[in-house]
Chain A
Amino acid sequence: MSEPYAQMLTPAFRARLERLQLAVRRSLPSTMRGDRRSLLRKGASLEFADFRPYIEGDDVRFLDWAAYARLDHLIMKLYHDEEDLQVHLLVDDSASMLPDKALFARQVAAGLGWIALRGGARVSAALLGEQIDRQPALRGVAAGERLLQFLSRPSGGGKQPLHLGCEKYANLARPWGLVLVVTDLLDPAGAAGVLNALQRRTTELSVLQVLSPQDLDPDFEGDLRLKDAEEAPSVDISLSPARIEAYRRTVRGYVAQCAELCLRRGAAFIQASSARSLEDFFVLDLARARIVR
């Protein structure tokens, strides 16, 4: 795939993205201070956030003496902390993503990266194909164009399993912070492989599954030999309405299975069709999944 990078995100869409922010569901350990305010975390900024009861070991400098005098209870004042957010965008670049899913996936990654860069985060990206094509961390609004250029690189169409690509990336980049994986999850290891490779104490993982209309609701018929894009075994099949319905059930079941696994493992999961409108996906679907706000 080689999309002119300027067309990955239209100017109008970029303007819409500027109103969105990445949502972090839990606080992540960080060694560097950044522009991002961490919610409900003891911080050293002047901006008051909230109260909570004193727990042994808390910094007594933050006790609210006035509340103690009134209520005779030890209460801690909380202030917004400013921390450095790392965002890792991993895009499945295997042959199974070609062609429609690959474009949509890169557009999603580009949009998320754009939002993250405008929010002051450090954004790294990688295309997980036969090899791992990395984009080192970028920061600042101006880095957005470079991110788009990276995501516009031609697709390798690799046949390496996704979970192996995730493991390699995890070993190389030792990610921490937000990790967003955009993939079709049509891999034998499935969501478990991605979770096992990338989920850490230091990461908040979100899995965005992209499936094409053909994956979700195939419209072919007759006596066919289904040929896998990644050289998995072909399937000889004589399609009938019953068999197509069985396939649809299987797809739904698989998606549900991935969602349930991610939920149990504390990862966010969202599934979308590559035919979905990008704007609707960001404004509605990602917001509903609390990946953006």
Chain B
Amino acid sequence: MIALAFDNPAALGLLGAAAAALLLFMLKRRRRDQPVSSTMLWRRAMKETVARAPFRRPSEWVSLILLLAALIALAFGAAGMRQGELRGDGRTVVVVVDVSASMTTREDGGTRFDIARDRARELIAGLGEGDHAVLIAAGATPRLVGYASGDSGPLLRMLGELQAEPQGCALRPALEMALAEVRRARGGVAPELVVLSDFCHAAAQWEGLDMKGAQLTLARCDGKAENAGIVHAAFAGDEGEGRLLVRVAGIGSRNVSLYNGDRLIDAREVRLATGQEETVVFRAPVPQGAGEVLRLGVRLDPADAQTLDDAAYVAVSRAEPARLLHVGAENSYLSRLAQAIPDLVFDRVDAADLTAQREKAAAPYDLAVITEPVAGVVPARRELYMGCAPDGLDLSIEGELVQPVIIDWERTHSMLRGASLDSLVLLKAVRVKAGPAARAIARLKDGPLLLEQRAPGRQVYVWASRPEDSNLLLRPAFPILVANLLGDAISRVRGHLAQCEAGVGFELPVGAGGATSIDAVLPRGRKWRAEVLPGEQALLRGPLPPGFCRAELRGAEFQQDIEVGIALLDVIETAARPQPPNAGQFGAGSAQVVEAANWNIQRPLWELLSIVALLLLAAELGVWMLTQRRLKPV
């Protein structure tokens, strides 16, 4: 049986023109009555016209047939008619389409993804009654796009909406999903598994796959396009300047240019051979003031067949130096925090002098570490009490605990991230009595070790041990814990870069309470919004387009603007010479490797029909001209 498919079925409306032409032809021509003195000479003239014409006048029916044939051919041609085999024998076709970044590479017939989608469309459009099709998109995460049984219209529409995206291709999970559909297939005919990809994959993706019972077709969508791209970028900076390291892979000679916004700063040339990577290190500017953000971009010129990997973006920001206040007697271990944490401004004041300090400080400190009881509020955003209780809160010290035992702690809490309390030795601890507003983050056998409490305008943490009663200050955990409490205040010049596939994760500042709203504007103008509760991590899932993402974080007690550069940075998706696996290695019922661009699943007839339509219209014009031939006057 012959199946006909149409790329643009709406154009079949042109057949209405053919029907209208036929109707007009069938309707008798309306003629106006024109009185003349005699028709004798008119009749004679018409006979003479016919007698003098070199050709017999074509019948009007000939003209109509030509016109109808031309309109029908034009309608089918404009509708993109294709002819293919109609299956109809209960066959199952599982189509896996690679939607990774490398599929955006331009080849002769369009992008690799366009080629894959065209072949997928032909496969699905060739479904007959009783056939089934399954469409799977193989991206960073495989996705079952849809099913079709007999009626392929909805699945074809879903296929039309599919796009290749800046992400890798987890082909193995996609193939496993496809093989599960293959095994589920019923019917006497072996199901078909068609993989439409450029096969920019690691060989390990294919290992151990059992495709027994399937008819496997690996349709290569790649061509001769050569590609080079940026596969890695990293930024490091200090007060004076920054360094941007860029690694380029692929093939060919390219200029690697560094831009600050739209201004070109530096450029280098790299020459690449297949399998090689070249590293370029740029000296990069850093922001001069706190809150300033530099948008650094690295671009490869000239542009090549795949543009997603031709640019990388890094947002570089600068913060004010973190300020820490120690309230209590001098402690050399605490003083060393100034060395352990870069750019930290460390001040100390005796508990008795706190009032004067309070009046002197122009802005609150980022963190206050209080090791002696004080009255009143400490001028800091966060307060860490060690072995004592804050004033004005429902927290009190009731007795001591000797050789307390730590039983657990919240490892994922923002304060303890990266800080391990293993091997922490506590000689003594105070028993902290806390009200319901306090939350224990770490616990001793007989009470809390670390408490968190919020109050209006205060974030208070209580460590139930004085500095001298444990080895905490000697452990690496302590500066990490202090750094976590300082949060974003601790780093100054930072480069923010994320991978397209991974998305952007937003970390809330330590101690952020209540819901935090995140409003982000992505590259190409898409917007994203989320509400995050304390302890949760907000993730703007990929794949995201390359460019800059700007986000505003708004909490009850803080406000923060973040900008992140997003780039592909994927060496596999930049591969210059993709290689499909050996089709015979999978033990499939039958296996073949085909070139997708030349794989004629359906013969396109629209080209032939368009030519036929033009020829018929030319013939009709010739017939019309013959009947309207001007006679030269004698």
Contact = CB atoms under 8 A, between A and B. Distances in A.
B422 interface: no
Nearest to A232: B39
A223 interface: yes
Contacts of A187: 40
A191 B38 CA distance: 15
Contact of B34 (A212, A227, A233, A248): A227
Given A243-B49, A252-B634, A226 B41 contact: no
A222 interface: yes
Say which size band chain A's interface belongs to. 35 or more
Contact of A184 (B32, B37, B52): B37
Given A220-B34, A227-B36, A186 B46 contact: no
A223 B32 contact: yes
A95 B40 CA distance: 14
A224 interface: yes
Contact of B630 (A230, A238, A245, A249): A245
A25 to B, nearest CB: 30
Interface in B22-49: 29-46, 48-49
A249 B34 contact: no
B633 A234 contact: no
A250 B44 contact: yes
A214 B37 contact: yes
A243 B630 CA distance: 8
Interface string A79-108: 000000000000000011110010000000
A242 B628 contact: yes
A249 B633 contact: yes
B42 A222 contact: no
Given A186-B41, A249-B48, A250-B44, A236 B633 contact: no
Nearest to A234: B39
* Most chain A CB inside 10 Å of its own CB: which residue of B35, B37, B52: B37
Contacts of B31: 223-225, 236
A101 to B, nearest CB: 7
A284 B37 CA distance: 27
A226 B34 CA distance: 5
Interface string B363-395: 000000000000000000000000000000000
Given A212-B37, A246-B631, A233 B32 contact: no
B629 interface: yes
A14 to B, nearest CB: 29
* Most chain B CB inside 10 Å of its own CB: which residue of A223, A240, A247, A250: A250
Contacts of A251: 41, 45
A204 B61 CA distance: 56
Interface string A206-220: 000000101100101
Contacts of B34: 220, 224-227
A31 B188 CA distance: 122
Interface residues of B, number: 27
Nearest to B630: A242
B64 to A, nearest CB: 15
A246 B42 CA distance: 9
A226 B36 contact: yes
A214 B40 CA distance: 14
B502 to A, nearest CB: 74
Given A223-B31, A224-B32, A250-B45, A245 B633 contact: yes
A228 B33 CA distance: 10
A142 interface: no
Contact of B45 (A98, A229, A232, A246): A246
Contacts of B46: 235, 237, 243, 246
Nearest to A225: B31
A233 B37 contact: no
A5 interface: no
A241 interface: yes
Given A245-B630, A250-B48, A235 B30 contact: no
A57 interface: no
Contact of B48 (A96, A97, A232, A246): A246
Given A236-B31, A252-B634, A228 B629 contact: no
A188 interface: yes
Interface in B132-176: none
Contact of A227 (B35, B41, B49): B35
Given A224-B32, A250-B48, A229 B38 contact: yes
Contacts of B37: 95-98, 101, 184, 186, 212, 214-215, 228-229
A254 interface: yes
Given A223-B32, A250-B45, A241 B630 contact: yes
B32 to A, nearest CB: 5
Nearest to B49: A246
Nearest to A241: B630
Contacts of B629: 242
* Most chain A CB inside 10 Å of its own CB: which residue of B39, B48, B52: B39
A249 B33 contact: no
A41 to B, nearest CB: 42
Given A235-B42, A236-B31, A248 B48 contact: no
Contacts of A220: 34
A61 to B, nearest CB: 57
Interface in B610-634: 628-631, 633-634
B45 A228 contact: no
B39 A235 contact: yes
Contacts of A233: 39, 43
A222 to B, nearest CB: 6
A236 B633 CA distance: 23
Contacts of B40: 186-188, 228, 232
Contacts of A212: 37
A222 B45 CA distance: 17
Given A96-B37, A186-B38, A228-B38, A235 B43 contact: yes
Nearest to B40: A186
Given A223-B29, A230-B38, A249 B44 contact: no
Contacts of B628: 240, 242
Interface string A56-79: 000000000000000000000000
A226 B44 CA distance: 13
Contact of A247 (B35, B42, B634): B42
A228 B43 CA distance: 11
A17 to B, nearest CB: 28
Contacts of B52: 246
Given A225-B31, A242-B630, A96 B43 contact: no
Nearest to B29: A223
A259 B600 CA distance: 76
Contacts of B48: 246, 249-250
B41 A249 contact: no
Interface string B259-281: 00000000000000000000000
A214 to B, nearest CB: 7
Given A223-B30, A250-B44, A245 B631 contact: yes
Contacts of A252: 634
Contacts of B35: 226-227, 229
20 contacts: A186-B37, A212-B37, A214-B37, A218-B36, A220-B34, A224-B34, A225-B31, A226-B34, A227-B36, A229-B37, A238-B29, A240-B628, A242-B630, A242-B631, A243-B46, A246-B45, A247-B41, A247-B45, A249-B45, A250-B45
Interface of A: 95-98, 101, 184, 186-188, 212, 214-215, 218, 220, 222-230, 232-238, 240-243, 245-252, 254
Given A186-B38, A245-B633, A246-B46, 5 more contacts: A226-B34, A229-B37, A232-B38, A235-B46, A246-B631
Which 5 pairs, one residue from A and one from B, show the smallest C-beta to C-beta distance? A186-B38, A250-B45, A96-B37, A247-B45, A225-B31
